[in-house]
Amino acid sequence: MYNDEEDNERYFSPDLLHVVRSFVSVATISNLELAPYGIRSVPTKTEDGIPIRKLYVTNLPPKTTRTELYGVFAQYGLIKSCWLKMGDKGPNKTPIPTYAFVTFSNPADAHQALEAPSHEKILRGRNLYTSPADSWHQPVEDADGRVCWKPRFSRTNVRSRSRSKDLDEGTSTKMSTVATLDSSESSDEEDVKSCTILDVLNRDCLTHILNYIPIRDIILSERVSKGWQIMVQEYLAGVRVLKTSWWQAEAARLTTAVLRRVLARVGDSLLALHIDHHWSALNDRTAHSIARFCPKLEELKIVGMHTKNWNPLLYGCKKLKNLSFISCNKLTDSSLVHLAHVDSCIEKITVANNTHVTGLFLTGAAPPQLSSLSFYNCYSLQGTVLSAAMDSLPNLTTLKLDLCPAAMWKIVPMILKTLSKLEELSLSEYMSSEVCFTTQSSDEFCEALTGLTELRRLNLSRNIHITNAVLKQIGQTCHKLEYLNVSSCNSRKNFPQPGVSDEGLAALWAGCRRLRELDVSYLAGLGGAGLAGQGGAARLRRFTARGNPALSAAGPAALLAAAPCLQEMDLCGCDGVSEEIVEAAVNALALNPRHLLLRLAGTGAAQAQEELPKHRLLTVNVADDLCNPNMRPDFVDRIFGNDSDESFDDLYDHDDFEDLFGSDEEIFLEDELDEYEQIFAYGIDVPDILI
């Protein structure tokens, strides 16, 4: 900037360079604008148009006092107040000033102090950096140009005084006059204090935010400040549910030692604990840690742990009510026999994906409060053992035997005859009928249903033993039924049982008039004639019929007219459903207004060229196809056909296998089929036999 290109012969003065250099130094630090040739443009008002009276001063030397600041800035005009921000205090710390606010009575004096060169604002050998304070720190002028100096009392007192309308005008005037004459040091200090998140948000908002943060990070953040530590302690004392699934995002592995330290902080108030981390290093001491630090625990869910001993829970968690073990390979009956004893408070037991539990832990003194029993994919489960244990469970209201051995179906009628109080029943995933060489009649199952008069929820999905006779019996007996799922019941393979069709649904509507949810997906025999409702769909709210190739629009349209409370109808994958279903929905909403959702992805209505009818209460979804094509009745397996006996003939030579296993005459598969009946009598599944 020494010479300008337009005036290269301009005279250069060293004094001017000294002034400009000092101006540039101050302006750079104070974020002030620079004009050409080093002349600064110092603002007189803030961005909001408020006159600048208060200056922000930094680079203070240690042990600076207010008297010394008065001496530095008094040369520019009358100072209204001067306030110092001191650093942290402690037993071995000397508070050091960090910054200061200097307030002038006249904006012109503050402007002069800003324009003053830095060598005039030196204190103990340090150049004081000055800049205008932010607009919310500046004193405000009213419409008449009078300065509204902030009173000396705190903001809380200001709010309380403003709310008290019964104060007389003379008292208010006197108070404001006294406040104007006094120093506003404490008021300025209140303004400068930065508002933290603890001051802005209440405890409910902070608790909701902390729920999204891993509890390990919350515990580590206690050292931030004393106020934050108190808030974290209050939050940890209020934690009721702890799930370790958040540990999946952590680099460190979840070990028993880490879990013990976490439970030591939150276990005293914990009611539910879900150890559902997919990869952990928890050992047998985990049960001891839970029993020691979680005395009030009521719900415990364990996923994927290879731990056998859970007996310590008996001594510590005496209020345990809900117990779930998912994919725990080492779990056996001996692991549960002490937990499910007569003096325990267990009300719900769930075991899934297990190969060792047989049900023997229930044959002893089972807990009398046990009301829910669920088994899923338990290959070693024995039906005869469960049948003997049902006599000791008089209060059982929920029973789920899903994806159990095929021999279990023969024992199911014996089990149901002893459970007259059953409210929820699930018998799904019974599809392995290839091992059943004789056709099993559903008469025994229908006879067992006659005693289930209190049944409210029934899940029979993917069960090849469910026929129209079963639905007729349900309609005659289960008058309190609210939920029914018969999807994919004998619809893909040509078994001797005919499966579910319109005949069974028509009989169902006649008896189950409290039905709220119905799922009839993936049924080859469903054409729509059984969906008329006949007055039994008065309370129906959700209807699902996915992947039914024979279903037309006439059946669902009749159901819309007969179900005034229907809120959702899912027809994804039904090719025969046309756009007439939308017109029927519009007509039904005209008679019974309510919000209605139609899922028509993969149907003929979704491929219609014309625009579908609209209604303000109707939502038509043609984008999200929820139908599973592999479960459709007309699905063709192009890799393995219906007959897979000859699927590998072109890959292997039978002569090679005869040399290894022997001839066909030596294999016991050629024996009489009567031997298989003896195998089923012992509850052994044939596919489990290793040949």
Is pLDDT above 70 for 602?
yes
Higher pLDDT, 436 or 589: 589
Q: How far is CA 159 from CA 163, 165, 193, in A?
A: 6, 11, 18
Higher pLDDT, 413 or 184: 413
Is pLDDT above 80 for 130?
yes
**For the chain, how are helix, strand and coil distributed in percent, rounded to 5?**
35, 15, 45
pLDDT digits (tens, 9 = 90+) for 18-28: 443 444 344 43
Place 533 in a pLDDT band, splitting at 50, 70 and 90: low
What's the alpha-carbon Rg for the chain, to the nearest Å?
Answer: 40
pLDDT digits (tens, 9 = 90+) for 377-398: 998 999 999 999 988 888 899 9
Higher pLDDT, 179 or 51: 51
Question: How much of the chain exceeds pLDDT 90, in percent?
Answer: 39
Per-residue tokens: 299: 């719900």
Angle between helix 286-293 and 256-266 (nearest 10): 10
pLDDT digits (tens, 9 = 90+) for 628-637: 998 888 888 7
| pLDDT score for 250 | 61
Report how far residue 302's alpha carbon sits from residue 284's, in angstroms, rounded to the nearest whole number.
13
DSSP state letter for 7: B
**CB of 29 closer than 8 Å to CB of 129:** yes
Average pLDDT of the chain is 79
pLDDT digits (tens, 9 = 90+) for 415-462: 999 998 999 999 999 876 544 444 456 889 999 999 999 999 999 999
| pLDDT score for 191 | 45
Report how far residue 72's alpha carbon sits from residue 121's, in angstroms, rounded to the nearest whole number.
6
Looking only at the bridges linking them, the beta strands covering 97-104 and 79-86 are antiparallel
Task: Please state whether the predicted TM-score (pTM) of the whole model is above 0.85.
Answer: no
Report how far residue 617's alpha carbon sits from residue 596's, in angstroms, rounded to the nearest whole number.
6
pLDDT digits (tens, 9 = 90+) for 634-656: 888 766 555 544 444 554 455 55
Q: What is the largest CA-CA distance in the chain?
A: 122
Extended strands (E) in 94-148 = 97-104, 122-123, 126-127, 129-132, 140-141, 147-148
| pLDDT score for 143 | 60
Place 196 in a pLDDT band, splitting at 50, 70 and 90: low
Is pLDDT above 50 for 175?
no
Report how far residue 360's alpha carbon sits from residue 381's, in angstroms, rounded to the nearest whole number.
9
Per-residue tokens: 634: 């007309």
Q: How far is CA 581 from CA 108, 325, 350, 424, 557, in A?
A: 79, 45, 42, 33, 6
Question: Across residues 372-376, what is the average pLDDT?
Answer: 95
3 state SS of 365:
coil
Looking only at the bridges linking them, the beta strands covering 398-402 and 424-426 are parallel
| pLDDT score for 495 | 56
3 state SS of 427:
coil
With b meaning 16 or more CB within 10 Å and e meaning fewer, what string describes 268-289? eebebbbbbbeebebeeebbbb
Higher pLDDT, 432 or 508: 508
pLDDT digits (tens, 9 = 90+) for 204-218: 888 888 888 888 888
Phi-psi bin for 49: left (phi > 0), alpha (psi -120 to 50), beta?
Answer: left
Report how far residue 81's alpha carbon sits from residue 66's, in angstroms, rounded to the nearest whole number.
9
| pLDDT score for 228 | 85
Is pLDDT above 80 for 325?
yes
CB-based contacts of 407, cutoff 8 Å, min separation 6: 383, 680, 683, 684, 685
- 234: nearest Cα among 259, 195, 269: 269
Is pLDDT above 50 for 616?
yes
